[in-house]
């Protein structure tokens, strides 16, 4: 496995990371035993970067990582996110998941409908008090006392104007609960806009071979600004 520098953070992530949005979802296509074996194999092969979020799998993505890698924490880089809200109905989803998932694994239309429903109930909240509460929850679920990277989850550009958000993140950084923070973006265009902020260490956005012109323009700028970059959805969510 090859490792790389990551902006000014001092972190040495593997060039290939492990995206954890589906490892504990109600619509996960693979049984839990297979997911667990894959995660362990990834670490054995040198992958040390795991990308998750507080809302993935109603928090079960973080719980799975925290339980599975309890004794390996110092070898891993946890990148999680906060800022999305999915509503109270998602609490119910978590409890019916063990019964529903075996059915969903074999029901493609059901998985697609579940994803659409999730997107419809998805909202955003970047109030500092809310974010701090969600970050505390992530620390608890991941069984750790610090996050290597905390990303704001798909914020609107106006969030940058709210100095309270970054003040809160810097406070948690001073306490050692967050080592580095940045932004997860929905597009290369948004990433370029957010990268102008001098207050972030890293940025995440979608990137695959169909976007090579945009990436050719964006990546050199990120390198020049010494911002760590995480490219997600390298296969376009299965469309490439």
Residue 221: which CATH number? Answer: 3.20.20.100
Q: What's the confidence (pLDDT) of residue 30?
A: 83
For tokens 């609107």, the residue is 156
Q: What's the confidence (pLDDT) of residue 198?
A: 75
> pTM, whole model, 2 decimals?
0.88
* CA-CA-CA-CA torsion sign (214, 220, 224, 228): positive
Return d(Cα 236, Cα 1) in angstroms, integer.
23
Indicate whether 11 belongs to any domain: no
**Residue of 179, 167, 156, 152 whose CA lies nearest to 53:** 152
Question: Is the Cβ–Cβ distance between 237 and 211 less than 8 Å?
Answer: no
- DSSP bridge partners of 232: 206
**Residue of 230, 235, 179 whose CA lies nearest to 210:** 235
Indicate whether 3 belongs to any domain: no
Indicate whether 120 belongs to any domain: yes
Q: What's the confidence (pLDDT) of residue 235?
A: 72
Q: What is the mean pLDDT of each run of 10 residues along the chain (240 residues)?
A: 96 97 82 95 98 94 97 96 81 63 58 58 88 97 98 90 92 98 94 87 88 85 94 71
Indicate whether 45 belongs to any domain: yes
Return d(Cα 116, Cα 33) in angstroms, integer.
26
Indicate whether 207 belongs to any domain: yes
Indicate whether 9 belongs to any domain: no
Q: What is the 3-state secondary structure (H, E, C) of the chain?
A: CCECCCCCCCCCCECCCEECCCCCCCCCCCCHHHHHHHHHHHHHCCCCEEECCCCHHHHHHHHHHHHHCHHHHHHCEEEEEECEECCCHHHHHHHHHHHHHHHHCCCHHHHHHHHHHHHHHCEECCCHHHHHHHHHHHHHHCCCCCEEEEEEECCCHHHHHCHHHHHHHHHHHHCCCEEEEEEECCCHHHHHHHCCCCCCCEEEEECCHHHHHHHHHHHHHHHHCCCEEEEECCCHHHCC
The range of the structural domain enclosing residue 198 comes to 18-238
Indicate whether 34 belongs to any domain: yes
Return d(Cα 23, Cα 238) in angstroms, integer.
16
Indicate whether 30 belongs to any domain: yes
For tokens 């290597």, the residue is 148
Number of structural domains (the chain) is 1
């Amino acid at each position: 496995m090859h490792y790389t520098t990551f902006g000014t953070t001092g972190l040495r992530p593997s060039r290939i990371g492990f995206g954890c949005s589906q490892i504990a979802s109600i619509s996960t296509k693979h049984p839990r035993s297979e997911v667990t074996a894959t995660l362990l194999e990834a670490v054995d092969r040198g992958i040390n970067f795991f990308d998750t979020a507080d809302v993935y799998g109603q928090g079960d993505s973080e719980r799975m990582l925290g339980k599975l890698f309890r004794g390996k924490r110092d070898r891993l880089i946890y990148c999680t996110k906060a800022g999305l809200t999915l509503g109270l109905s998602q609490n119910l989803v978590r409890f019916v998941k063990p019964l529903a998932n075996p059915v969903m694994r074999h029901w493609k239309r059901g998985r697609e409908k579940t994803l659409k429903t999730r997107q419809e109930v998805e909202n955003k909240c970047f109030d500092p008090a809310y974010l701090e509460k969600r970050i505390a929850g992530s620390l608890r679920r991941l069984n750790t006392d610090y996050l290597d990277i905390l990303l704001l989850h798909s914020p609107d550009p106006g969030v940058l104007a709210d100095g309270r958000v970054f003040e809160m993140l810097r406070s948690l950084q001073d306490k050692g609960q967050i080592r580095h923070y940045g932004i997860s973006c929905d597009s290369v265009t948004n990433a370029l806009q957010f990268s102008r902020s001098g207050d972030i260490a890293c940025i995440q956005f979608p990137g695959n071979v169909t976007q090579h012109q945009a990436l050719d323009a964006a990546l050199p700028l990120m390198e020049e600004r010494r911002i760590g970059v995480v490219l997600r959805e390298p296969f376009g969510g299965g469309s490439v």
